[in-house]
Structure 1
Amino acid sequence: MITSLVLLVAALVFVLQAVRVVPQQSAQVIERLGRFHAVLSPGLNIIIPFVDRVAYRHSLKEIPLDVPSQICITKDNTQLKVDGILYFQVTDPQRASYGSSDYIMAITQLAQTTLRSVIGKMELDKTFEERDEINASVVAALDEAAVSWGVKVLRYEIKDLVPPQEILHAMQQQITAEREKRALIAASEGRKQEQINIATGQREAAIQKSEGERQAAINTAQGEAEALRLVADATAHALTTVGTAIATPGGLEAVNLKVAEQYVDAFAKLAKEGNTLLLPANAGDIAGTVATALSVIRKTDRPQAR
């Protein structure tokens, strides 16, 4: 009975040692009698107890690695504190186990030396502008070396670039001066545009005013010309009508009467409107004066009578 129980326990231990369950995105390296034998894939696996053993366990997930900050010297001899983070993934568990005694340390050290080399080829201003180029250079150098370690370097990102305080102060002054310069340029451009707009407006207003004055003068001249024409036409029509009336029978007698009436009215008005009275030399001979005026009318009318 005791023997059976011992055998049962031994069998149970043997089964437990023979069965290995590997989680997803994980890998286990098996050594048989101290020599690499196999890599267990995720799921249920069977090994030989006391002959095979799990020597290494690896995670196949993407792993972020914080690269310690370091002081780098730029091309223009400026100290720059650089801090970054690295992302890698184990792609070959066998090489990751035997290719390097500590692939994480190897990746970290290589990332730091590569970063110092890349920063040393750039000036300070370029390091802030060319972050993508720096990241790509570090990834390319690491990926080439990490192949023998069974690791794939996915990307490298610079978290922070910190120059000395003196450089930061100088950069801040430069940025302030540049902003003030842009503000002055913008203000001068605004004043320039304002003067251009004012001058353009004044020129257009002067043009519009001159056009208005020109049109007003044309309209006035046309109105005066039309008025003169109408007066001339009316005068000509009146003269024609008078001449026609004189040529008719009895017309001359009517003119005699009209002239005599106007002559008498004119002298009457002179007597009422002023203290000074102007009289013609022959004021006593009104009939003679009227006869003289009628003789002028007869001379003027004589060609029409013919």
Structure 2
Amino acid sequence: MLTFTIIFLIFLFILFKLMLIVPMRDVFVIERLGKFRAVLQPGFHFLIPFLDRVAYRHDTREQVLDVPTQSCISRDNTQLEVDGLVYLKVMDGRLASYGIENYRRAAVNLAQTTMRSEIGKLTLSETFAERDKLNESIVREIDKASEPWGIKVLRYEIRNISPSMKVIHTLEKQMEAERSKRAEITLASAEKAAMINLSEGERQEAINLSEGEKQKRINEAKGTAQEISIIAKAKAEGMLMISQSLAKNGGNDAMNMLLKEQFIDQLGAVLDKSQVSVVPTELAKLEGFFEGMDQVSATLQGSKGGKA
């Protein structure tokens, strides 16, 4: 019974050594008698017991490696503390096993040296403004150098860029000066716009005043012309009515009476305003004057009747 148990255990051990299951996410590197035999892909495989062995196991998924913080010097001699992340994937299990001792550590060290080299080509402001280009340059250089290792560098991301405290203080002063400059430019632009608007308003006001004065004069001229026209028309109509009245019977007598009344009224007004009480000598001959006017009117009437 003990012998059977020992034989059964030996059989199970040989069977265990004979069969191999590779998980989906891995590849196994098999050596036979210490020499590379094959790279086994995910699935079920048979091995020769005591001759074949699994020498290396590699994860074929994308791996993320932390790049420690390191000191870098930019092109303008500014000291920076930079760290990042490198993303890579095993593409060839044989090269990843025999091409380099530890591809993870090698990739991290290569990322650090490449990052120092690339940052040394840029100024401080360019490292912040062109971070994407910097990442692409680092990936290109690392991928070129790591090709014999059987890995593929997918991307590199700079996580933090930290200047020294002295540089940060200088940058803060620079930003403050830049903000003050922009504020002064904004105020100057606003003042310029205000002056332009004010001058445009004054110009428009002057134009409006001149237009109003022009329209006022035109209206006054039109009003004066219309007034003169109305007065002239009224005088013409009055003269026409007077001439028509004189042509009628008794027209001359009415005219004489009207002239006498007007003369007396005007003479009374002159005597009221005069400060010297003087009676004109012609006043005594006033009756003779009116009689002379009657005779002149009669003569004019007679001449008109004779012509008729």
TM exceeding 0.5: yes
SS of the residue aligned with 1:30?
A: strand
* Aligned-partner Cα distance in 2 for 1:45–1:304: 159
- Bigger shift: residues 120-129 or 200-209: 120-129
SS of the residue aligned with 1:83?
A: strand
* Aligned-partner Cα distance in 1 for 2:302–2:90: 138
| 1:228-269 deviation per Cα after TM superposition (whole angstroms, max 9, x unaligned) | 111011111101210121123331122123223444555666
- Bigger shift: residues 55-64 or 123-132: 123-132
Identity of aligned residues (%): 40
1:84 deviates by 1.4
| 1:91-122 deviation per Cα after TM superposition (whole angstroms, max 9, x unaligned) | 11111011101111111121112122222222
* Aligned-partner Cα distance in 2 for 1:122–1:165: 20
- Bigger shift: residues 209-218 or 131-140: 131-140
Q: Give 1:152's aligned residue.
A: 152
Q: Give 2:106's aligned residue.
A: 106
* Aligned-partner Cα distance in 1 for 2:293–2:97: 148
Say whether 1:231 aligns with 2:231: yes
Say whether 1:62 aligns with 2:62: yes
Q: Give 2:30's aligned residue.
A: 30
1:72 deviates by 1.6
* Aligned-partner Cα distance in 2 for 1:164–1:99: 39
| 1:154-198 deviation per Cα after TM superposition (whole angstroms, max 9, x unaligned) | 111111122222121111111110110110111011011101101
* Aligned-partner Cα distance in 2 for 1:25–1:199: 78
- Bigger shift: residues 120-129 or 80-89: 120-129
Say whether 1:135 aligns with 2:168: no
* Aligned-partner Cα distance in 1 for 2:173–2:264: 106
Q: Give 2:198's aligned residue.
A: 198
1:2 deviates by 4.7
* Aligned-partner Cα distance in 2 for 1:118–1:233: 103
- Bigger shift: residues 37-46 or 236-245: 37-46
SS of the residue aligned with 2:76?
A: coil
Is this contact kept in 2: 1:270–1:277, CA < 8 A? no
Q: Give 2:91's aligned residue.
A: 91
Q: Give 2:41's aligned residue.
A: 41
* Aligned-partner Cα distance in 2 for 1:242–1:118: 117
Q: Give 1:220's aligned residue.
A: 220
Query: Would the alpha carbon gap of residues 32 and 298 (structure 1) be closer, same or farther in structure 2, given more than 3 Å must change?
Result: farther
Is this contact kept in 2: 1:259–1:290, CA < 8 A? no
1:279 deviates by 5.3
How many aligned positions are there? Answer: 306
SS of the residue aligned with 1:245?
A: helix
| 1:199-254 deviation per Cα after TM superposition (whole angstroms, max 9, x unaligned) | 11111011111101110111011101110111011111101210121123331122
Say whether 1:248 aligns with 2:248: yes
* Aligned-partner Cα distance in 2 for 1:302–1:138: 136
Moved over 6 A (4+): 268-278, 294-306
- Bigger shift: residues 84-93 or 33-42: 33-42
Q: Give the 5 Å matches for 1:113-192.
A: 113-192=113-192
* Aligned-partner Cα distance in 1 for 2:24–2:296: 141
* Aligned-partner Cα distance in 1 for 2:6–2:303: 173
TM normalised by structure 1 equals 0.88
Query: Would the alpha carbon gap of residues 304 and 110 (structure 1) be closer, same or farther in structure 2, given more than 3 Å must change?
Result: farther
Is this contact kept in 2: 1:65–1:87, CA < 8 A? yes
Query: Would the alpha carbon gap of residues 91 and 281 (structure 1) be closer, same or farther in structure 2, given more than 3 Å must change?
Result: farther
| Coordinate RMSD, CA, aligned | 3.0
Return 5+ residue gaps in structure 2 as ranges.
none
Is this contact kept in 2: 1:247–1:301, CA < 8 A? no
Query: Would the alpha carbon gap of residues 294 and 48 (structure 1) be closer, same or farther in structure 2, given more than 3 Å must change?
Result: farther
Query: Would the alpha carbon gap of residues 28 and 265 (structure 1) be closer, same or farther in structure 2, given more than 3 Å must change?
Result: same
Is this contact kept in 2: 1:270–1:278, CA < 8 A? no
Is this contact kept in 2: 1:69–1:83, CA < 8 A? yes
* Aligned-partner Cα distance in 2 for 1:85–1:254: 128
